[in-house]
Amino acid sequence: MDVQIEASWKAVLQQEFTKNYFQQIVAHLKTEKATKTIIYPSGSLIFNAFKQTPFNQVKVVILGQDPYHGIGQAMGLSFSVPNGVSNPPSLQNIFKELQTDIGMPIPSSGNLTAWAKQGVLLLNAVLTVRANEAASHSKIGWTNFTDAVIQKLSDEKIHLVFLLWGKFAQEKQILIDETKHSVLKAAHPSPLSAYNGFFGCKHFSRTNEILVKNGVEPINWSF
């Protein structure tokens, strides 16, 4: 199957596209689209995280769960929304922590493409969702694919920083070789849990400290 994904990722993940689980994902999406089911993000944005952050440019991984399921929100980058779309509560809390941590003014736009272009892989564990149905595609096979992505990054790169926010993301820690990479954990930025350890985690300044220590250009979190 010729999956339309950025070339460096295609080379790294080529074997995944031939596996049964991936064929089942494709079949599932085709079946739903045939019944006029609305799926987010649009087809051209499903692999947007990979397009914006090629494999050889990844420095940091921020793992989300599944795409936003409201109209116009999902853009294939975890936690990010397009320009002109109101910032969801979790993203607003991310910006609050950035303001406290590094003094960044809270931006009006929640479009995080500027981070992605600097090497921050904004990866959702599940890459699609039915409109208005959170986690509706959580069991169609995407986690097999994104687990493989995390494993490839861990195996083939060094000095990455993984930001794991919340229990779901932290379950992926087992895939990461911590003798080669750094893992920072905190509560999820959701309003339900942000006060249980996300606020005050200082993950953004700590990430840059780790990158600089390893001779890697730090991220400019401000935009």
Active site positions, annotated: 66
> Using an 8 Å Cβ cutoff, are 117 and 53 in contact?
yes
- b/e per residue 170-198 (b: at least 16 CB within 10 A): bebeebbeeeebbbbbbbbbbeebbeeeb
| DSSP-assigned states of every residue in 75-93 | -SSTT---TTSPPPHHHHH
Q: Is 161 helix (H, G, I), strand (E, B) or coil?
A: strand
How far is residue 120's CA from residue 30's CA, in Å, rounded to a whole number? 30
